[in-house]
Amino acid sequence: MGVVTLQGYIVVPDTDLASVQDGLLEHIELTQREQGCLHFTVYQDTKNKNRFNVHEKFVNRAAFEAHQRRAKDSRWGHIAANVERHYQISEDS
């Protein structure tokens, strides 16, 4: 198993924008401390306030899946429940 990379963006509804902005820093900090996280950035697009660009790298599929489980069950998972996700996930062999 190789490095898992996720690239893409989320689109946040206007009704959730303030809570996503409020919870994003905590989500980033918690993720960057996860075992197996190599890189994790999420940032608001400069041209579209509702779009947040995402780039993640984890050491392997197990670390990536552990992150997905943790995030889903976290405060962030509740805040971001209504976002529209546009991701590409790849795995180095």
Cβ atoms of 2 and 91 closer than 8 Å = yes
Q: What is the pLDDT of residue 59?
A: 97
Give the torsion through C-alpha atoms of 69, 51, 41, 5, to 10 deg: 60
- Tell me the per-residue pLDDT of 80-90, one tens digit each, with 9 for 90 and over: 999 999 999 99
- 2 near 82, Cβ under 8 Å? no
CA dihedral in degrees (76, 77, 78, 79; nearest 10)? 40
- Summarised one tens digit per residue, pLDDT across range 22-74 is 999 999 999 999 999 999 999 999 999 999 999 999 999 999 999 999 999 99
Predicted confidence at residue 93, as pLDDT, reads 73
Query: What is the pTM for the complete model shown?
Result: 0.93
In the chain the domains, ranked by start, together with CATH numbers, are 4-91 (3.30.70.100)
Mean pLDDT of the 4-24 span:
97
